[in-house]
Amino acid sequence: MTNSSQLAQTKERGILIVLSGPSGVGKGTVCTALRGRASDLIYSVSATTRKPREGEREGVNYFYRTKEEFLSMIEKGELLEWAEYVGNYYGTPKDFVEKTIEEGKDIILEIDVQGALKVKEKFPEGVFLFLLPPSLDELESRIVGRGTETEDVIAGRMMAARDELELVKHYDYAIVNDRVDLACDRIQSILTAEHCKRERFMPAIQKWLEEVH
């Protein structure tokens, strides 16, 4: 194998990007815009016990599983994280993430802060991004602007946001979502830098050094 092909092989492994932040910060909007820019960026598909809705497809919207199948996945350690919501289970299949990365594709997981920390326990080599609002006042304005929340719910979301901000220390990068296009620029710059990290090239470089001797 030539030096150039060794280096290419080293660079082929993909990266797991975990994007999270407080409710209302714009995670979904940024994630959608980012995928529109980078067609080769894979969106992490969750497993769920919820029944498929009209137009949804297996492996595209979700991996649909029975409750028994889902509980078996939990028991076997096949999920990076999971949670129960309104009587249904949701989780991130570890196999799908690992297979995508081994294929040399980057995969993005949009998830809440608590879920992200669970993923980090099982997949610490991921790149963890915390999306920040320009200010807490702006965050509150965005939540109010939805027009779907009561005053009590808004107050609860703001209290939760303050608690979540304390967890930013567990993340690799903090990105301010002042404008969606700029937030996407920053994320793409981070991905470029991550792909250039020294450790990604060390196997090939070590082999070069061994060949010299």
Decide if pLDDT at 2 tops 80: no
pLDDT, greater one: 84 or 2:
84
Q: b/e string for 83-120 if b means 16 or more Cβ within 10 A?
A: eeeeeebbbbbbebbeebbeeeebbbbbbbbebbbbbb
Domains of the chain: 3-41+106-212 (3.40.50.300), 45-104 (3.30.63.10)
pLDDT, greater one: 156 or 103:
103
Residue holding tokens 């492996």?
59
Phi, psi of 79 (to 5 degrees): -120, 135
What is the model's pLDDT at position 98?
A: 94
Rounded to an integer, the average pLDDT of 113-134 is 93
Q: pLDDT class for 60, splitting at 50, 70, 90?
A: confident
Rounded to an integer, the average pLDDT of 131-135 is 93
- pTM of the entire structure? 0.82
Rounded to an integer, the average pLDDT of 76-88 is 90
What is the model's pLDDT at position 7?
A: 54
Decide if pLDDT at 4 tops 70: no
What is the model's pLDDT at position 207?
A: 84
Residue 42 buriedness (CB in 10 A; 0-12 / 13-18 / 19+):
buried
Residues 128 and 126: their CA atoms lie apart, in Å, by 6
Decide if pLDDT at 109 tops 60: yes
Q: pLDDT class for 213, splitting at 50, 70, 90?
A: low
CB distance 92 to 80 below 8 Å: yes
Q: How many CB atoms lie within 10 A of CB 57?
A: 9
Distances (CA, A) of 47 to 23, 36, 44, 71, 86: 22, 23, 10, 11, 15
Q: For the segment 30-59, what is each residue's pLDDT rounded down to a tens digit? A: 999 998 998 889 999 999 999 998 888 998
What is the model's pLDDT at position 204?
A: 80
Residue 34, token pair as written in the block = 């980012």
Residue 200 buriedness (CB in 10 A; 0-12 / 13-18 / 19+):
middle
